[in-house]
Structure 1
Amino acid sequence: STPEQAYLLTVAWGSLANWSEIYLVLRHLNHLELRRSGLYSYFHLTHLLQQLANVRLFLLFLLRRLPEETWYGLDHLLTFVRKLDDHYLYRYGDPDAWWLASRITHKRYAPDNPRDWPNTYGAFIAAMLEGPLNWLGIVSLGYDERGIVAFQITEFGTFLLGRRPIPTLEKKPEGPALVLTEDGQATLYPERSDIRLLDLLATMGKLVEAESDRLRYRLTAEGARQAFESGHSLEEIIELLEEGSRAPVPQKLREQLTHLWENFGLVHLYPNLTVIEFSDDFAIRELLAATSLAQHIIYQFSPRLVAIEPDAVDELVRELQKKGYTPRVAESLEETDDG
């Protein structure tokens, strides 16, 4: 049916990693270009597209919380996201690997510049609204002579965003939601699945085919690493896969996942670094938006642990104190062990 097909398209688009709304941004805003640092020769287009696919899921998470059929100004949404995290396009990557710049002067646009932000990094949000969200019927748009100025979540959009069950899908068909093979091929039947399994496969797998009633993924080592970094343990992953398939995970696939888990984060060699440990999983999001932390992160080990440049410690301590935090600075591991 039409609702089922639209739902499947929405799921497929949410995890689409071989196309991005950044193409729409660059096509419609001729003054922009995308540049990559020469120091990041290993950073390829596939890495960028995967990062931006994850950003898409973050923005969908925000939109799911908006009441339906209520008009919102685009400028208000952009202001909200900028204040929440002006580096949102770098939530899953390194801000020094790539950036937006002027096509004419090649000047680098800084994400923390509020004057340029709406027409540079904020344009990704407008592209999502005018592009896929509009095409799928999730939003309706309002325009004036400047272009898009407002949007609202449609009633149908609440179904596609997962806020309401689509009536035709309320009674799930019989049979397993997932079929796994030894070589890591996964066939998912979304109408039989729950959101946890959908999210897991969107993280662990690369979408290779979408049909009217099923999605085919290829599970990858990089996807497994991302699942581990997002907080999934091997035990949780195996449990979700077996619940979905109603069968044990194929032995070869289980062994591969076990090997990846055992080697996950086993060795990280970073001399002369400073480590910040947060007390909960949410503090880093606030600090990324409110301080210069994003400019100094070298590696994020987990939602609570990041490595930063040692020279940035004094500056960050001052910023944290201004925000009302009382950071403790330990000079050695022994000091941290003392509590």
Structure 2
Amino acid sequence: VLPACALLSENEAPIPAEVAQLAKLWWPLNSYAKIETYGTHLSDQGLTVPAENLYYPPRMDLVPRTLARYFPPLLETVIPSSQELPAELALPDAGVDIHIGNPQAFIRTVNQVLLLMDQVVTRLRPPMPRPRMEKFLTQLQDWNYVPAEIIAKKAQLRDRRGDIALTVPPPGRTLNDDALERLAPIAGGEAQLDFVLALLTAANVVQAGSPITLWPEGKQAYLQRPEAEQRALLARTYFSLENWTELWELLRMDGDLQLKRVIRSFYHQGTPQLIYHHLMQARNLVLRTLAHLPDNRWVPLSELQSLLRTLWPDFEREQHSPTSPFAYNRYSSWYLARGGTRLNAAQEADWMVAQWPFIRFMLTGPLSWLGLADVAMRQNEPVAVRLHGLADLYWARVAAPPFPTGVAGQQAAGAASASAPADATTPALAVTDATISVNPSAISARAHALFDKIAVLEDAAPGNFVYRLNVEAVHQTFENGQALADLADEWQTHFQHPMPEEIRAQLTAWWQSYGLVRIYADVTIIEFADD
């Protein structure tokens, strides 16, 4: 019963019938006649917190996050897991490919995109043209639309007759075609680029608007973080992200799947922000479930499907949650349809075309990109998942869990070479006179931040950044309190070899000249003297 209470306690006290339904997936409840009795015993042991007596019908005791973060993996005893892949998936002829998450590669991709946007003007895609009729039909404002549909329903919209369902198509890609062509190959594809931009915007590293502008303070603070802390920041940003949703990728991949919003005559007019919030809640329902699983163990997804099917029966479930113990809202402001027909929560086939693709994309997309999940795939379908540090991040147990190393004898492809320090004799780093050529994905963000202190980015190509020493950048670094010795120590730390002589010689000359002459403009001098 405790795992069931924990899974259903994110936003409010759980409903007893739902706790019983979930708990019966794992055990017969024969000890007591009422599910509430189990809750009383859990509360007596300090494992749950009594709910306020404001709900009708009454609710179960709940498991707040402050308690859940100290629990061991609650689903470990009810969902099978193993150190190795299940035998039927590990056979040579099973046709299973293991996709190992590589957080270091993702973080360096993010940093490469960030630095390229700082080098070249990057513009957003223009928004969808607004229909002229929205001046008179305010229900159309702020929403994407299907032109033919609103023309066909113009009279109904004008007269506000009954409930009107309108299709909300997915937005276009974030960047315009030129920027998309330049940056998508570096990011790993258009979907991953959109995700990276949403994270950087929500994390206040870049400023929303066109052209994209980097916050100098935000960029500097971000690049100064170790890579594990950067990953932790972006992962926590993803957990609460409301300017991007997995649903858009589902709609792009399945042309028959549609998001419908409902315009009602007098009640509950939804907004785009409300839908984003509901979809963020759906994401957290899945994350909360995964966060109760053990780390570094393979979990068959067939076992998770039945659990998530019970937890998330209809796609728009989260918007049904009451906003207070006294206010129940059962009127959907949106729903999913396939071929124009609303999906039926009672049909497993409909669940498999909506909720399951959403969960599947979370596993193979963001969680895999962030290095929080390894996924075993068979015929392009995930069949097992292995988590790394998700629970620690989700429950805020640690500031930044370390990157996973070899788990069960496997290592992320290329991770070893990517993490190896670059030296002056390898193609990763080349110094010629006052220029530094570097493979941007082969060095850490803090190494790029060091270059920002002593140079300017002169040329940026996907596989090669060229920095040139710059006296203004170096002067500002000295003004900020760093000395030549500090810069030399940073170089040694990031590249595991001393600073090249040609770089050191130029920085030494500037350091010796620093502060010899200072010119002050618009200064008032007050002279004091004794008579």
Q: Which TM bucket (shorter chain)? A: 0.3 to 0.5
**What is the TM-score of this pair, normalised by structure 1?**
0.45
**What is the TM-score of this pair, normalised by structure 2?**
0.29
Larger Rg: 2
